[in-house]
Structure 1
Amino acid sequence: MRVLLALGGNAMTNADGRARPEDQIAAAGVAMAAVAELLEADVEVVITHGNGPQVGNLLVKNELAAGVVPPVPLDWCGAQTQATLGFVLMNALEAALTEHGVERRTATLVTRALVDADDAGFTHPTKPIGRFLPADEAAVLVEHGETWEDRGEKGWRRVVASPEPVEILDAPAVQALVEAGFVVVANGGGGIPTVRAADGTLHGVEAVIDKDLGAALLAGTVAADVLVIGTDVPHAVLRYGTPDAEPLGTVTVSQLRAYAAEGHFASGSMGPKVDAACRFVEAGGSRAVITDLGHITHAITGDAGTVVVPD
Protein backbone atom coordinates (compact mmCIF):
# COMPACT_ATOMS: atom_id res chain seq x y z
CA MET A 1 0.00 0.00 0.00
CA ARG A 2 1.22 3.48 -0.85
CA VAL A 3 0.08 6.37 1.36
CA LEU A 4 0.46 10.09 0.78
CA LEU A 5 0.67 11.69 4.21
CA ALA A 6 -0.06 15.42 4.26
CA LEU A 7 1.07 17.01 7.51
CA GLY A 8 -0.68 20.22 8.49
CA GLY A 9 1.18 23.26 9.75
CA ASN A 10 0.37 22.21 13.32
CA ALA A 11 2.61 19.18 12.81
CA MET A 12 5.63 21.48 12.79
CA THR A 13 4.79 23.76 15.74
CA ASN A 14 4.14 23.23 19.44
CA ALA A 15 0.69 23.05 21.03
CA ASP A 16 0.59 26.84 21.42
CA GLY A 17 1.41 27.44 17.78
CA ARG A 18 4.99 28.59 18.40
CA ALA A 19 7.46 27.78 15.64
CA ARG A 20 10.87 28.24 17.24
CA PRO A 21 13.49 25.84 15.85
CA GLU A 22 13.30 23.69 18.97
CA ASP A 23 9.50 23.58 18.73
CA GLN A 24 9.64 22.45 15.12
CA ILE A 25 12.24 19.76 15.82
CA ALA A 26 10.17 18.38 18.71
CA ALA A 27 6.94 18.40 16.68
CA ALA A 28 8.65 16.67 13.78
CA GLY A 29 9.75 13.92 16.16
CA VAL A 30 6.14 13.24 17.13
CA ALA A 31 4.93 13.14 13.52
CA MET A 32 7.76 10.95 12.30
CA ALA A 33 7.24 8.44 15.11
CA ALA A 34 3.87 7.68 13.51
CA VAL A 35 5.45 7.42 10.07
CA ALA A 36 8.04 4.96 11.40
CA GLU A 37 5.22 2.73 12.64
CA LEU A 38 3.69 2.70 9.18
CA LEU A 39 7.01 1.87 7.54
CA GLU A 40 7.60 -0.91 10.05
CA ALA A 41 4.26 -2.36 8.90
CA ASP A 42 5.50 -2.28 5.27
CA VAL A 43 3.32 0.66 4.27
CA GLU A 44 4.97 2.83 1.62
CA VAL A 45 4.82 6.50 2.63
CA VAL A 46 5.31 9.74 0.69
CA ILE A 47 5.25 12.86 2.87
CA THR A 48 4.15 16.40 2.15
CA HIS A 49 3.61 19.24 4.61
CA GLY A 50 2.35 22.73 5.26
CA ASN A 51 4.76 25.64 5.71
CA GLY A 52 2.55 28.54 6.78
CA PRO A 53 4.26 29.36 10.12
CA GLN A 54 7.71 29.02 8.59
CA VAL A 55 6.95 31.26 5.61
CA GLY A 56 5.31 33.67 8.05
CA ASN A 57 8.58 33.92 9.96
CA LEU A 58 10.48 34.70 6.75
CA LEU A 59 7.95 37.39 5.86
CA VAL A 60 8.54 39.09 9.20
CA LYS A 61 12.27 39.08 8.50
CA ASN A 62 11.52 40.58 5.07
CA GLU A 63 9.50 43.35 6.69
CA LEU A 64 12.11 44.17 9.32
CA ALA A 65 14.94 44.29 6.79
CA ALA A 66 13.10 45.87 3.85
CA GLY A 67 14.80 49.22 4.34
CA VAL A 68 18.23 47.56 4.11
CA VAL A 69 17.97 44.59 1.71
CA PRO A 70 15.33 43.66 -0.89
CA PRO A 71 12.64 41.26 0.40
CA VAL A 72 13.05 37.61 -0.59
CA PRO A 73 10.33 36.71 -3.15
CA LEU A 74 7.51 34.49 -1.94
CA ASP A 75 8.49 31.61 -4.24
CA TRP A 76 11.97 31.72 -2.71
CA CYS A 77 10.40 31.59 0.74
CA GLY A 78 8.59 28.44 -0.33
CA ALA A 79 11.77 26.86 -1.64
CA GLN A 80 13.70 27.71 1.52
CA THR A 81 11.05 26.29 3.85
CA GLN A 82 10.65 23.13 1.76
CA ALA A 83 14.37 22.46 2.15
CA THR A 84 14.53 23.35 5.83
CA LEU A 85 11.46 21.37 6.85
CA GLY A 86 12.54 18.43 4.73
CA PHE A 87 15.89 18.42 6.53
CA VAL A 88 14.16 18.49 9.93
CA LEU A 89 11.68 15.75 8.96
CA MET A 90 14.40 13.49 7.54
CA ASN A 91 16.45 13.76 10.73
CA ALA A 92 13.39 13.00 12.85
CA LEU A 93 12.30 10.09 10.70
CA GLU A 94 15.74 8.49 10.61
CA ALA A 95 15.93 8.71 14.41
CA ALA A 96 12.49 7.08 14.72
CA LEU A 97 13.41 4.35 12.24
CA THR A 98 16.54 3.56 14.23
CA GLU A 99 14.39 3.09 17.34
CA HIS A 100 12.16 0.69 15.41
CA GLY A 101 15.09 -1.17 13.88
CA VAL A 102 13.95 -0.30 10.35
CA GLU A 103 16.40 0.57 7.61
CA ARG A 104 15.03 3.03 5.02
CA ARG A 105 16.65 5.87 3.12
CA THR A 106 15.08 9.33 3.09
CA ALA A 107 15.17 12.20 0.63
CA THR A 108 13.71 15.68 0.32
CA LEU A 109 12.86 17.13 -3.06
CA VAL A 110 12.37 20.87 -3.53
CA THR A 111 9.28 20.69 -5.71
CA ARG A 112 7.62 23.05 -8.19
CA ALA A 113 3.90 23.10 -8.95
CA LEU A 114 2.68 24.51 -12.24
CA VAL A 115 -0.07 27.14 -12.06
CA ASP A 116 -1.95 29.01 -14.76
CA ALA A 117 -0.28 32.32 -15.58
CA ASP A 118 -3.73 33.67 -16.51
CA ASP A 119 -5.25 32.90 -13.11
CA ALA A 120 -7.40 35.85 -12.05
CA GLY A 121 -5.58 36.04 -8.74
CA PHE A 122 -2.49 37.46 -10.38
CA THR A 123 -4.52 40.46 -11.55
CA HIS A 124 -6.66 40.77 -8.43
CA PRO A 125 -4.89 39.00 -5.54
CA THR A 126 -7.13 38.20 -2.56
CA LYS A 127 -5.23 35.71 -0.35
CA PRO A 128 -4.10 37.52 2.84
CA ILE A 129 -0.72 36.46 4.25
CA GLY A 130 1.55 37.59 7.05
CA ARG A 131 0.86 40.10 9.78
CA PHE A 132 -0.84 43.50 9.84
CA LEU A 133 1.42 46.55 9.56
CA PRO A 134 0.95 50.31 9.95
CA ALA A 135 0.63 52.26 6.70
CA ASP A 136 4.17 53.65 6.71
CA GLU A 137 5.78 50.22 7.09
CA ALA A 138 3.51 48.69 4.44
CA ALA A 139 4.45 51.52 2.07
CA VAL A 140 8.10 50.41 2.11
CA LEU A 141 7.05 46.95 0.93
CA VAL A 142 4.70 48.37 -1.70
CA GLU A 143 7.74 50.18 -3.11
CA HIS A 144 9.33 46.75 -3.53
CA GLY A 145 6.37 45.65 -5.69
CA GLU A 146 4.17 43.91 -3.11
CA THR A 147 0.39 44.37 -2.95
CA TRP A 148 -0.99 45.55 0.40
CA GLU A 149 -4.55 46.47 1.39
CA ASP A 150 -5.88 48.79 4.06
CA ARG A 151 -7.84 46.61 6.51
CA GLY A 152 -9.05 49.45 8.73
CA GLU A 153 -8.23 49.50 12.45
CA LYS A 154 -6.02 46.42 12.21
CA GLY A 155 -3.74 48.11 9.71
CA TRP A 156 -2.49 47.00 6.30
CA ARG A 157 -2.06 43.40 5.14
CA ARG A 158 -0.37 41.82 2.16
CA VAL A 159 -2.50 39.94 -0.40
CA VAL A 160 -1.28 37.50 -3.05
CA ALA A 161 -2.72 35.16 -5.65
CA SER A 162 -3.75 31.64 -4.61
CA PRO A 163 -3.95 29.74 -7.91
CA GLU A 164 -4.82 26.06 -8.20
CA PRO A 165 -1.96 23.66 -8.92
CA VAL A 166 -2.38 21.93 -12.28
CA GLU A 167 0.77 19.79 -12.44
CA ILE A 168 3.54 18.63 -10.11
CA LEU A 169 6.49 19.50 -12.33
CA ASP A 170 8.99 17.40 -10.42
CA ALA A 171 6.74 14.34 -10.06
CA PRO A 172 9.04 12.13 -12.18
CA ALA A 173 11.86 12.71 -9.70
CA VAL A 174 9.54 11.96 -6.76
CA GLN A 175 8.39 8.78 -8.45
CA ALA A 176 11.96 7.68 -9.24
CA LEU A 177 13.03 8.15 -5.62
CA VAL A 178 9.98 6.26 -4.33
CA GLU A 179 10.62 3.39 -6.71
CA ALA A 180 14.25 3.32 -5.55
CA GLY A 181 13.06 2.75 -1.98
CA PHE A 182 13.35 6.24 -0.54
CA VAL A 183 10.85 7.78 1.85
CA VAL A 184 10.34 11.08 0.08
CA VAL A 185 9.38 14.49 1.48
CA ALA A 186 8.04 16.56 -1.41
CA ASN A 187 5.81 19.43 -2.55
CA GLY A 188 5.83 21.21 0.80
CA GLY A 189 3.41 24.09 1.13
CA GLY A 190 1.53 22.92 -1.95
CA GLY A 191 4.59 23.31 -4.14
CA ILE A 192 6.55 26.33 -5.33
CA PRO A 193 4.13 28.21 -7.62
CA THR A 194 5.62 28.18 -11.11
CA VAL A 195 4.36 29.42 -14.48
CA ARG A 196 5.38 28.45 -18.01
CA ALA A 197 6.15 31.33 -20.36
CA ALA A 198 5.20 31.37 -24.04
CA ASP A 199 8.70 30.18 -24.96
CA GLY A 200 8.37 27.19 -22.62
CA THR A 201 10.66 28.47 -19.88
CA LEU A 202 9.60 28.18 -16.24
CA HIS A 203 9.83 30.73 -13.46
CA GLY A 204 8.50 31.11 -9.93
CA VAL A 205 5.79 33.60 -9.07
CA GLU A 206 4.59 35.44 -5.98
CA ALA A 207 1.65 33.27 -4.93
CA VAL A 208 0.46 30.75 -2.35
CA ILE A 209 -0.84 27.32 -3.35
CA ASP A 210 -3.28 25.62 -1.00
CA LYS A 211 -1.24 22.82 0.58
CA ASP A 212 -4.19 20.40 0.75
CA LEU A 213 -5.01 20.77 -2.94
CA GLY A 214 -1.32 20.30 -3.67
CA ALA A 215 -1.36 17.13 -1.57
CA ALA A 216 -4.33 15.72 -3.47
CA LEU A 217 -2.62 16.39 -6.79
CA LEU A 218 0.65 14.83 -5.62
CA ALA A 219 -1.19 11.79 -4.24
CA GLY A 220 -2.79 11.10 -7.59
CA THR A 221 0.45 11.78 -9.45
CA VAL A 222 2.44 9.21 -7.43
CA ALA A 223 -0.43 6.67 -7.58
CA ALA A 224 -1.07 6.66 -3.84
CA ASP A 225 -3.76 4.26 -2.66
CA VAL A 226 -4.71 6.41 0.33
CA LEU A 227 -4.44 10.13 1.10
CA VAL A 228 -4.17 10.95 4.80
CA ILE A 229 -4.57 14.62 5.72
CA GLY A 230 -3.13 15.17 9.17
CA THR A 231 -4.57 18.07 11.13
CA ASP A 232 -5.21 19.04 14.76
CA VAL A 233 -8.63 17.40 15.15
CA PRO A 234 -9.57 13.70 14.88
CA HIS A 235 -12.51 14.24 12.48
CA ALA A 236 -14.23 16.71 10.23
CA VAL A 237 -17.27 17.91 12.13
CA LEU A 238 -20.79 18.91 11.13
CA ARG A 239 -22.15 22.01 12.88
CA TYR A 240 -18.71 22.64 14.39
CA GLY A 241 -18.74 24.75 17.55
CA THR A 242 -22.43 24.19 18.32
CA PRO A 243 -24.16 21.93 20.87
CA ASP A 244 -25.23 19.75 17.92
CA ALA A 245 -21.68 19.17 16.65
CA GLU A 246 -21.34 15.74 15.01
CA PRO A 247 -18.00 14.11 14.09
CA LEU A 248 -18.03 12.48 10.68
CA GLY A 249 -16.86 8.89 10.31
CA THR A 250 -17.09 7.10 6.97
CA VAL A 251 -18.78 9.21 4.32
CA THR A 252 -19.12 9.05 0.54
CA VAL A 253 -17.80 11.78 -1.73
CA SER A 254 -21.29 12.92 -2.72
CA GLN A 255 -22.40 13.09 0.91
CA LEU A 256 -19.35 15.11 1.88
CA ARG A 257 -19.77 17.45 -1.09
CA ALA A 258 -23.37 18.02 -0.01
CA TYR A 259 -22.30 18.85 3.55
CA ALA A 260 -19.71 21.27 2.19
CA ALA A 261 -22.34 22.97 0.03
CA GLU A 262 -24.45 23.44 3.16
CA GLY A 263 -21.57 25.45 4.69
CA HIS A 264 -20.39 23.05 7.37
CA PHE A 265 -16.64 23.51 6.75
CA ALA A 266 -14.78 26.81 7.13
CA SER A 267 -13.03 28.01 3.99
CA GLY A 268 -9.82 28.85 5.84
CA SER A 269 -9.44 25.58 7.73
CA MET A 270 -11.44 22.39 7.16
CA GLY A 271 -12.92 23.42 3.81
CA PRO A 272 -9.76 22.88 1.71
CA LYS A 273 -9.11 19.55 3.45
CA VAL A 274 -12.59 18.32 2.60
CA ASP A 275 -12.20 19.50 -0.99
CA ALA A 276 -8.81 17.81 -1.32
CA ALA A 277 -10.10 14.53 0.11
CA CYS A 278 -13.01 14.55 -2.34
CA ARG A 279 -10.79 15.38 -5.31
CA PHE A 280 -8.44 12.51 -4.56
CA VAL A 281 -11.24 9.93 -4.33
CA GLU A 282 -13.05 11.37 -7.36
CA ALA A 283 -9.82 10.96 -9.34
CA GLY A 284 -9.65 7.26 -8.50
CA GLY A 285 -8.12 7.04 -5.03
CA SER A 286 -9.47 4.24 -2.85
CA ARG A 287 -10.09 6.51 0.13
CA ALA A 288 -8.96 9.67 1.87
CA VAL A 289 -8.81 10.24 5.61
CA ILE A 290 -8.85 13.45 7.65
CA THR A 291 -7.58 12.96 11.20
CA ASP A 292 -5.00 14.02 13.78
CA LEU A 293 -1.46 12.74 14.20
CA GLY A 294 -2.38 10.43 17.05
CA HIS A 295 -4.68 8.41 14.79
CA ILE A 296 -2.59 8.20 11.62
CA THR A 297 -1.74 4.50 11.91
CA HIS A 298 -5.40 3.57 12.39
CA ALA A 299 -6.40 5.96 9.61
CA ILE A 300 -4.58 3.80 7.07
CA THR A 301 -6.97 0.91 7.67
CA GLY A 302 -10.03 3.15 7.76
CA ASP A 303 -10.54 2.70 11.50
CA ALA A 304 -10.09 6.34 12.51
CA GLY A 305 -10.89 9.84 11.36
CA THR A 306 -13.26 11.02 8.67
CA VAL A 307 -12.94 8.41 5.93
CA VAL A 308 -14.01 9.51 2.45
CA VAL A 309 -14.90 6.69 0.06
CA PRO A 310 -16.27 6.51 -3.49
CA ASP A 311 -20.03 6.58 -4.02
Structure 2
Amino acid sequence: MDFITVVIAIATLFVLIAAGFGARKYGLVKDNHVHLISHILVSVSLPALTIASMQVPETAQTMGIVDRMLVVAVGYYLAAFAIGLLLCRFLPATSEEKGVFQFMLVFPNSMFMGIPVALAVLGPSSLFYVILFNVPFYFLVFTLGVWLLARGRPGKIDLKVLLSPGLVAAIAGLVLFLFQLNLPSPVQSGLELIGSATTPLAMIVVGAMLATLPLHRLAGDWRIYLTTALRLIVFPVAAFLILSPFVSDHLLLGVAVLMIAMPVAANSVLLSEEYGVDATLASQGVFISTVLCLATIPLLEVLLF
Protein backbone atom coordinates (compact mmCIF):
# COMPACT_ATOMS: atom_id res chain seq x y z
CA MET A 1 0.00 0.00 0.00
CA ASP A 2 1.50 3.36 -1.00
CA PHE A 3 2.25 6.13 1.49
CA ILE A 4 -0.56 8.49 0.43
CA THR A 5 -3.19 5.75 0.69
CA VAL A 6 -2.08 4.85 4.21
CA VAL A 7 -2.00 8.50 5.29
CA ILE A 8 -5.52 9.05 3.96
CA ALA A 9 -6.77 5.92 5.76
CA ILE A 10 -5.28 6.99 9.10
CA ALA A 11 -6.28 10.64 8.62
CA THR A 12 -9.89 9.54 8.06
CA LEU A 13 -9.88 7.92 11.48
CA PHE A 14 -8.50 11.12 12.99
CA VAL A 15 -11.45 13.01 11.52
CA LEU A 16 -13.66 10.76 13.65
CA ILE A 17 -11.42 11.38 16.66
CA ALA A 18 -11.68 15.13 16.02
CA ALA A 19 -15.48 14.84 15.89
CA GLY A 20 -15.50 13.20 19.32
CA PHE A 21 -13.01 15.76 20.65
CA GLY A 22 -15.06 18.71 19.39
CA ALA A 23 -18.37 17.28 20.57
CA ARG A 24 -16.98 16.81 24.07
CA LYS A 25 -15.24 20.20 24.17
CA TYR A 26 -18.38 22.10 23.17
CA GLY A 27 -20.69 20.18 25.47
CA LEU A 28 -22.59 18.25 22.81
CA VAL A 29 -21.36 15.05 24.45
CA LYS A 30 -21.33 14.98 28.26
CA ASP A 31 -19.35 12.77 30.63
CA ASN A 32 -22.29 10.42 31.09
CA HIS A 33 -22.71 10.21 27.31
CA VAL A 34 -19.07 9.15 26.89
CA HIS A 35 -19.54 6.51 29.55
CA LEU A 36 -22.71 5.25 27.84
CA ILE A 37 -21.12 5.15 24.38
CA SER A 38 -18.07 3.38 25.78
CA HIS A 39 -20.29 0.89 27.59
CA ILE A 40 -22.26 0.14 24.39
CA LEU A 41 -19.01 -0.21 22.49
CA VAL A 42 -17.37 -2.59 24.96
CA SER A 43 -20.50 -4.55 25.90
CA VAL A 44 -22.41 -4.77 22.60
CA SER A 45 -20.71 -3.51 19.44
CA LEU A 46 -17.22 -4.94 19.94
CA PRO A 47 -18.41 -8.40 21.12
CA ALA A 48 -20.78 -8.58 18.13
CA LEU A 49 -17.93 -7.73 15.76
CA THR A 50 -15.69 -10.30 17.47
CA ILE A 51 -18.14 -13.17 17.06
CA ALA A 52 -19.13 -12.22 13.51
CA SER A 53 -15.52 -11.92 12.36
CA MET A 54 -14.67 -15.41 13.56
CA GLN A 55 -17.39 -17.07 11.46
CA VAL A 56 -14.92 -18.37 8.88
CA PRO A 57 -14.53 -21.89 7.44
CA GLU A 58 -12.08 -24.10 9.30
CA THR A 59 -9.24 -25.18 7.07
CA ALA A 60 -5.65 -26.19 7.62
CA GLN A 61 -4.72 -22.60 6.78
CA THR A 62 -7.10 -20.97 9.28
CA MET A 63 -6.09 -23.41 12.04
CA GLY A 64 -2.49 -22.53 11.34
CA ILE A 65 -3.39 -18.83 11.59
CA VAL A 66 -4.95 -19.37 15.02
CA ASP A 67 -1.87 -21.16 16.36
CA ARG A 68 0.68 -18.79 14.89
CA MET A 69 -1.10 -15.57 15.81
CA LEU A 70 -1.66 -16.64 19.41
CA VAL A 71 2.01 -17.61 19.71
CA VAL A 72 3.08 -14.25 18.25
CA ALA A 73 0.75 -12.29 20.54
CA VAL A 74 1.77 -14.12 23.72
CA GLY A 75 5.43 -13.83 22.74
CA TYR A 76 5.04 -10.09 22.27
CA TYR A 77 3.41 -9.57 25.67
CA LEU A 78 6.07 -11.62 27.46
CA ALA A 79 8.88 -9.71 25.73
CA ALA A 80 7.28 -6.29 26.33
CA PHE A 81 6.68 -7.17 29.99
CA ALA A 82 10.34 -8.15 30.46
CA ILE A 83 11.61 -5.03 28.67
CA GLY A 84 9.27 -2.83 30.71
CA LEU A 85 10.47 -4.26 34.01
CA LEU A 86 14.11 -3.87 32.98
CA LEU A 87 13.76 -0.34 31.63
CA CYS A 88 11.80 0.95 34.60
CA ARG A 89 14.53 -0.18 36.98
CA PHE A 90 16.64 2.66 35.56
CA LEU A 91 13.86 5.18 34.87
CA PRO A 92 13.70 8.06 37.37
CA ALA A 93 10.15 7.67 38.67
CA THR A 94 8.17 6.79 41.75
CA SER A 95 6.98 3.21 42.21
CA GLU A 96 3.45 4.23 41.13
CA GLU A 97 4.79 6.02 38.03
CA LYS A 98 6.87 2.98 37.10
CA GLY A 99 3.74 0.84 37.14
CA VAL A 100 2.03 3.26 34.74
CA PHE A 101 5.05 3.36 32.41
CA GLN A 102 5.24 -0.45 32.40
CA PHE A 103 1.54 -0.68 31.57
CA MET A 104 1.96 1.80 28.70
CA LEU A 105 4.89 -0.18 27.29
CA VAL A 106 3.13 -3.54 27.43
CA PHE A 107 -0.42 -2.76 26.28
CA PRO A 108 -1.12 -1.17 22.88
CA ASN A 109 -4.53 0.23 21.93
CA SER A 110 -5.05 -2.82 19.75
CA MET A 111 -8.84 -2.90 20.10
CA PHE A 112 -10.23 0.66 20.00
CA MET A 113 -7.57 1.84 17.53
CA GLY A 114 -6.36 -1.51 16.24
CA ILE A 115 -9.56 -2.72 14.60
CA PRO A 116 -10.39 0.52 12.72
CA VAL A 117 -6.76 1.04 11.66
CA ALA A 118 -6.40 -2.54 10.42
CA LEU A 119 -9.66 -2.28 8.47
CA ALA A 120 -8.51 1.00 6.93
CA VAL A 121 -4.95 -0.05 6.13
CA LEU A 122 -5.15 -3.81 5.51
CA GLY A 123 -8.82 -4.35 4.63
CA PRO A 124 -11.63 -6.59 5.97
CA SER A 125 -9.58 -9.79 5.56
CA SER A 126 -7.36 -8.62 8.45
CA LEU A 127 -10.19 -8.65 11.00
CA PHE A 128 -9.90 -12.36 11.87
CA TYR A 129 -6.17 -11.88 12.55
CA VAL A 130 -6.80 -8.78 14.68
CA ILE A 131 -9.36 -10.54 16.87
CA LEU A 132 -6.94 -13.44 17.43
CA PHE A 133 -4.12 -11.07 18.39
CA ASN A 134 -6.40 -9.47 20.97
CA VAL A 135 -7.51 -12.67 22.70
CA PRO A 136 -4.46 -12.59 25.07
CA PHE A 137 -5.10 -8.87 25.62
CA TYR A 138 -8.41 -9.62 27.35
CA PHE A 139 -6.76 -12.15 29.64
CA LEU A 140 -3.74 -10.00 30.48
CA VAL A 141 -4.99 -6.40 30.74
CA PHE A 142 -7.19 -7.20 33.76
CA THR A 143 -4.62 -9.47 35.39
CA LEU A 144 -1.06 -8.52 34.49
CA GLY A 145 -2.13 -4.94 33.71
CA VAL A 146 -3.91 -4.47 37.02
CA TRP A 147 -0.96 -6.03 38.84
CA LEU A 148 1.45 -3.56 37.21
CA LEU A 149 -0.69 -0.61 38.32
CA ALA A 150 -1.84 -1.84 41.72
CA ARG A 151 0.74 -4.34 42.96
CA GLY A 152 1.20 -4.13 46.68
CA ARG A 153 -2.42 -3.01 47.19
CA PRO A 154 -4.23 -6.00 48.75
CA GLY A 155 -7.90 -6.50 48.05
CA LYS A 156 -7.96 -4.25 45.01
CA ILE A 157 -8.17 -6.82 42.22
CA ASP A 158 -11.68 -8.01 41.47
CA LEU A 159 -11.63 -11.36 39.67
CA LYS A 160 -15.05 -10.59 38.16
CA VAL A 161 -13.39 -8.22 35.69
CA LEU A 162 -12.04 -11.32 33.92
CA LEU A 163 -15.57 -12.02 32.70
CA SER A 164 -15.68 -8.98 30.45
CA PRO A 165 -18.02 -9.10 27.42
CA GLY A 166 -15.00 -8.88 25.13
CA LEU A 167 -13.35 -11.93 26.68
CA VAL A 168 -16.61 -13.91 26.66
CA ALA A 169 -17.17 -12.99 22.99
CA ALA A 170 -13.61 -13.96 22.06
CA ILE A 171 -14.01 -17.36 23.73
CA ALA A 172 -17.46 -17.86 22.17
CA GLY A 173 -16.11 -16.92 18.75
CA LEU A 174 -13.22 -19.38 19.11
CA VAL A 175 -15.58 -22.17 20.21
CA LEU A 176 -17.89 -21.52 17.26
CA PHE A 177 -14.89 -21.50 14.93
CA LEU A 178 -13.24 -24.65 16.33
CA PHE A 179 -16.49 -26.65 16.26
CA GLN A 180 -17.57 -25.05 12.96
CA LEU A 181 -20.93 -23.99 14.35
CA ASN A 182 -22.41 -21.59 11.81
CA LEU A 183 -24.79 -18.92 13.02
CA PRO A 184 -28.13 -18.51 11.20
CA SER A 185 -27.91 -15.97 8.41
CA PRO A 186 -30.12 -13.33 10.13
CA VAL A 187 -28.05 -13.62 13.33
CA GLN A 188 -24.77 -13.30 11.43
CA SER A 189 -26.08 -10.30 9.45
CA GLY A 190 -27.37 -8.67 12.63
CA LEU A 191 -24.03 -9.12 14.39
CA GLU A 192 -22.18 -7.69 11.40
CA LEU A 193 -24.50 -4.68 11.33
CA ILE A 194 -24.04 -4.04 15.06
CA GLY A 195 -20.30 -4.59 14.74
CA SER A 196 -20.08 -2.02 11.94
CA ALA A 197 -20.69 0.66 14.57
CA THR A 198 -17.40 -0.23 16.28
CA THR A 199 -15.11 1.97 14.19
CA PRO A 200 -17.01 5.30 14.49
CA LEU A 201 -17.93 4.68 18.14
CA ALA A 202 -14.37 3.74 19.09
CA MET A 203 -12.85 6.81 17.44
CA ILE A 204 -15.47 9.13 18.92
CA VAL A 205 -14.77 7.73 22.39
CA VAL A 206 -11.02 8.19 21.96
CA GLY A 207 -11.57 11.82 20.89
CA ALA A 208 -14.00 12.50 23.72
CA MET A 209 -11.56 11.03 26.26
CA LEU A 210 -8.70 13.16 24.93
CA ALA A 211 -10.89 16.27 25.21
CA THR A 212 -11.19 15.81 28.98
CA LEU A 213 -7.43 15.96 29.59
CA PRO A 214 -5.95 19.17 31.07
CA LEU A 215 -4.28 21.03 28.20
CA HIS A 216 -1.40 22.36 30.33
CA ARG A 217 -0.37 18.80 31.25
CA LEU A 218 -0.65 17.14 27.85
CA ALA A 219 2.92 17.81 26.67
CA GLY A 220 4.49 15.45 29.22
CA ASP A 221 8.26 15.06 29.76
CA TRP A 222 11.11 13.11 28.21
CA ARG A 223 10.00 9.87 29.90
CA ILE A 224 6.70 10.01 28.02
CA TYR A 225 8.50 10.52 24.71
CA LEU A 226 10.91 7.65 25.44
CA THR A 227 7.96 5.37 26.19
CA THR A 228 6.16 6.57 23.06
CA ALA A 229 9.23 5.98 20.87
CA LEU A 230 9.50 2.42 22.15
CA ARG A 231 5.74 1.86 21.79
CA LEU A 232 5.38 3.30 18.26
CA ILE A 233 8.74 2.63 16.60
CA VAL A 234 11.20 0.33 18.41
CA PHE A 235 8.78 -2.46 19.34
CA PRO A 236 7.13 -2.81 15.89
CA VAL A 237 10.44 -2.60 14.02
CA ALA A 238 11.96 -5.23 16.33
CA ALA A 239 8.87 -7.42 15.86
CA PHE A 240 9.19 -7.15 12.08
CA LEU A 241 12.89 -8.03 12.12
CA ILE A 242 12.34 -11.00 14.44
CA LEU A 243 9.20 -12.38 12.79
CA SER A 244 9.81 -11.81 9.07
CA PRO A 245 12.30 -14.72 8.63
CA PHE A 246 9.79 -17.15 10.17
CA VAL A 247 6.35 -15.85 9.13
CA SER A 248 5.46 -16.42 5.48
CA ASP A 249 1.85 -15.20 5.85
CA HIS A 250 2.13 -11.56 4.75
CA LEU A 251 -1.19 -10.57 6.33
CA LEU A 252 -0.37 -12.22 9.66
CA LEU A 253 2.96 -10.42 9.78
CA GLY A 254 1.35 -7.11 8.81
CA VAL A 255 -1.39 -7.37 11.44
CA ALA A 256 1.04 -8.39 14.20
CA VAL A 257 3.40 -5.48 13.48
CA LEU A 258 0.49 -3.05 13.08
CA MET A 259 -1.08 -4.08 16.42
CA ILE A 260 2.27 -3.75 18.20
CA ALA A 261 2.64 -0.28 16.61
CA MET A 262 -0.60 1.00 18.12
CA PRO A 263 -0.52 3.87 20.67
CA VAL A 264 -0.89 3.41 24.42
CA ALA A 265 -4.08 1.58 25.39
CA ALA A 266 -6.89 3.85 26.56
CA ASN A 267 -7.45 1.33 29.38
CA SER A 268 -4.38 2.82 31.08
CA VAL A 269 -6.35 5.95 32.00
CA LEU A 270 -9.44 4.09 33.18
CA LEU A 271 -7.52 1.55 35.27
CA SER A 272 -5.15 4.19 36.68
CA GLU A 273 -8.17 6.08 37.99
CA GLU A 274 -9.73 2.87 39.30
CA TYR A 275 -6.65 1.85 41.27
CA GLY A 276 -5.64 5.30 42.50
CA VAL A 277 -2.38 5.82 40.60
CA ASP A 278 -1.23 8.64 38.31
CA ALA A 279 -4.05 8.93 35.75
CA THR A 280 -2.59 12.21 34.40
CA LEU A 281 0.62 10.41 33.45
CA ALA A 282 -1.43 7.74 31.68
CA SER A 283 -3.46 10.46 29.94
CA GLN A 284 -0.28 12.09 28.65
CA GLY A 285 0.88 8.75 27.24
CA VAL A 286 -2.44 8.14 25.51
CA PHE A 287 -2.62 11.65 24.04
CA ILE A 288 0.96 11.94 22.78
CA SER A 289 1.18 8.42 21.36
CA THR A 290 -2.23 8.75 19.67
CA VAL A 291 -1.24 12.01 17.98
CA LEU A 292 2.19 10.77 16.88
CA CYS A 293 0.86 7.50 15.47
CA LEU A 294 -0.67 9.55 12.66
CA ALA A 295 2.90 9.84 11.35
CA THR A 296 4.49 6.60 12.57
CA ILE A 297 1.88 4.09 11.35
CA PRO A 298 1.96 5.18 7.67
CA LEU A 299 5.77 5.30 7.75
CA LEU A 300 6.05 1.81 9.23
CA GLU A 301 3.53 0.33 6.81
CA VAL A 302 5.28 1.83 3.79
CA LEU A 303 8.89 1.25 4.88
CA LEU A 304 8.45 -2.26 6.26
CA PHE A 305 5.90 -3.61 3.79
Query: Given the two structures, how large is their TM-score scaled by the length of structure 1?
Result: 0.26
Asked which structure has the greater RCO (Cα within 8 Å, sep 6+), the reply is 2
Bigger fraction of residues in helix? 2
Give the TM-score, by structure 2 length. Answer: 0.26
More strand by share: 1
Higher radius of gyration, 1 or 2: 1
